[in-house]
Amino acid sequence: MLESKIRSSIPQMNRYPETPGIKALFHSVRDIALIIDKVAQAGYGYLKAGTVMAINLSAAGALGQLVPYVPISTGVALGAVSAIGIAPVVLNSIASHVYVSLEDSYKFVVGDELILDNDSDEGPTTTGAITAIDRTTSTLYADITTTTAFSHGNYTVAKKAYAHVVTGVSGEYTTAAYILDADIDTGAGVEAAGALCSVVVSNAILYKNNMTNLTAAAIASLGVVDGRFFILK
């Protein structure tokens, strides 16, 4: 196989296989669904229609803005589709300090309240509100300072720890709220600016296989599954 030179500036021709195109989200008529406008928080990159979204419930920060829903499970597998709403820890956490990549740090703002967990489900732990985000001390990571001196032994690189904003009031502190209606780009890294978006609230039948993060807990919060369909009531 010839190696693609797509990222080089030399004249070239690159051929790609044909794909099925954009997958449909709605089985029912979109016009009868209850759809409302929202604002998505910056830093989460490109999000596809059908992504399950959650509401930032921090007392301050980006309160009320939408972020990708973080599934309730025995920990989120880093690198999986379900990890779009999290920021992996890149340096072992210490009391009141969470270390994430510089790019991931732009998923959060001062005032956001964080939840820490790991892929062994040794959490969650609340950190309280972010008081500062230091992106200047190191070129390798950002130092997020929080109000709570949390117990940090489980939130290490070896245990594949991660952080996400609080979107639930108890338990795992993550709750599904809406379904993204169309593709959006919230941006990534320092230039991330968020996105205006629309979300489906109810009165719709969607193709469940074309949705992201539709877990059992999300289904229980939002509707029911009937065969290959997800029904928002």
**Structure confidence at residue 20 (pLDDT):** 64
pTM listed for this prediction: 0.88
Rounded-to-integer distance, Cα 155 and Cα 94, Å? 8
| CA dihedral over 230, 178, 183, 73, signed as positive or negative | negative
**Structure confidence at residue 1 (pLDDT):** 42
Tokens of 130: 């972010």
**Structure confidence at residue 35 (pLDDT):** 96
Please report, as a single letter, which amino acid is at residue 188: A
**Structure confidence at residue 75 (pLDDT):** 67
Mean pLDDT value of segment 67-73? 89
Mean pLDDT value of segment 76-95? 88
CB atoms within 10 A of CB 187: 18
* Half-sphere exposure for 35 (CA within 13 Å, toward CB): 16
**Structure confidence at residue 123 (pLDDT):** 78
Rounded-to-integer distance, Cα 127 and Cα 97, Å? 9
Task: Mean pLDDT check: name the lowest of 38-47, 70-79, 216-225.
Answer: 70-79
pLDDT digits (tens, 9 = 90+) for 133-191: 999 999 999 999 999 998 888 999 999 999 999 999 988 899 999 999 999 999 999 99
pLDDT at residue 17 greater than cutoff 90: no
Rounded-to-integer distance, Cα 4 and Cα 186, Å? 29
Q: Sorting pLDDT into bands at 50, 70 and 90, what band is 21? A: low
Average pLDDT, the chain: 91
**Structure confidence at residue 2 (pLDDT):** 47
> What are the backbone dihedrals phi and psi of residue 191, each rounded to the nearest 5 degrees, phi first?
-95, 5
Q: Sorting pLDDT into bands at 50, 70 and 90, what band is 6? A: low
pLDDT at residue 79 greater than cutoff 70: yes
pLDDT at residue 208 greater than cutoff 90: yes
Mean pLDDT value of segment 122-126? 87
Task: Mean pLDDT check: name the lowest of 4-18, 68-82, 159-173.
Answer: 4-18
pLDDT digits (tens, 9 = 90+) for 23-36: 789 999 999 999 99
